Amino acid sequence: MKAKIQYVTAAWLIFGVVVAPPVRAADFEITPFAGYTAGGYFTDDATGASIRLDATANYGIMLDMKDIGDSWFEFYYSRQQTRLKANPGSSAGSRQFDVDVEYFHLGGTYGTSTERLKPFIVGTIGATYMDPKGPGLDSETKFSLSLGGGVKLFLTDRLGIRLDARWFGTFVGGGGTVFCSGSSCLINFQGDLWSQGVANAGVVVAF
């Protein structure tokens, strides 16, 4: 009797495996990540001094939702805690303080894929938020965009590794002022675009 029960149980298990539907493709992905951000130079219009942000680590999250085919909608958030410094020998050497740089972006990814390996390109638009930590300094919010690419390597149907690199361009409208306190601003800068490069690595959870 016991053997018969075992045979019946085994038969039901085999039947379940045969007729069970295949695993449904994921419609959502959450990717917490850490990375490295470099770049971010200002040229002071008044003194000609070159002022930069230190290259430092960043962290954030990407939320992706399936669109059509191999395209995905994406929300991207990252934060970099860095320091504004004048280049050595600059007359602006006293202007040094911590700055948080955050990106809030919407866009999408596209790329062909194999079963486990999924290369892609990405483009997003949104806002760059710069929050200086000097006493009395005002924060800045500017329009920005990003372009880049990367790859996802899925270890299982629901878990993978994501690597990507992006260029971020923040529009500053032909120059202006940043990091102001009242009517006094620390930097009067030149140019239309402020650039940073970012490389990220994260863990993809798909569902």
pLDDT tens-digit readout, 60-91 = 999 999 988 889 999 999 999 999 886 555 44
Share of the chain above pLDDT 90, in %: 50
**In whole angstroms, how far apart are CA 64 and each of 1, 59, 72, 120, 154?**
53, 17, 6, 13, 15
| CATH architecture for residues 25-206 | Beta Barrel (2.40)
In terms of DSSP H, where are the helices of 34-190?
A: none
**pLDDT recorded at residue 154:** 93
What residue spans define the domains of the chain?
25-206
Instruction: Answer yes or no: are the C-beta atoms of 182 and 136 closer than 8 Å.
Output: yes
Q: What angle do CA 99, 103, 106 make, to 5 degrees?
A: 175
